[in-house]
Amino acid sequence: MSDFDLLPGKRGRPVIVDWREPAVAPGVQLRIEQDIFDSMPRAVPRLRVWQPLPTLVVTTAEAGNAAFGAAAFRAAARGFPVEVRRSGGGAVCLGPGMLVVSHFYTSMHDDIDSSYRSFARRLMAALEVVGVALTDQHVARAYCDGKFDLAWCGLKVGGMAQRRRCRDGASQVWIHAVIAVEPESMRYPAEVAQFYSDSRMPRIADPSRTTCLSLCMPSEARAPGLLRRCGDVIAGSFREEPL
Summarised one tens digit per residue, pLDDT across range 108-147 is: 777 899 999 999 999 999 999 999 999 999 999 999 999 9
Residue 80 lies in a domain: no
How many other C-beta atoms lie within 10 A of the C-beta of residue 41? 12
Task: Look at residue 81 and tell me if it is in a domain.
Answer: no
pLDDT band at 241 (very low <50, low <70, confident <90, very high): low
In a domain, 167, yes or no: yes
Whole-angstrom Cα distance, residue 26 to residue 55?
7
Question: Does 188 score more than 70 pLDDT?
Answer: yes
- The enclosing domain of 10 has a CATH number of 3.30.930.10
Say if 84 falls within a structural domain: no
Q: Convert the pLDDT of each residue in 32-44 to its tens digit.
A: 999 999 887 665 7
Instruction: State the pLDDT at residue 3.
Output: 37
Asked if residue 62 belongs to a domain, the reply is: no
Residue 199 belongs to some domain of the structure: no
Contact 71, 195 (CB under 8 A): yes
Over residues 153-164, the mean pLDDT reads 95
Has residue 6 got a pLDDT over 70? no
Domain count, the chain: 1
Q: Which residues contact 242 (CB under 8 A, 6 or more apart)?
A: 45, 105, 107, 110, 115, 118, 119, 122
**40 lies in some domain:** yes
Q: The pTM is what?
A: 0.90
What is the pLDDT, as a whole number, of residue 94? 98
DSSP 206: -
Residues paired with residue 5 on neighbouring β-strands, in sequence order: 17
DSSP 8-state secondary structure symbol assigned to residue 151? E
Whether residue 76 lies inside any domain: the answer is: no
Domain that holds residue 212: 2-51+94-185+205-237
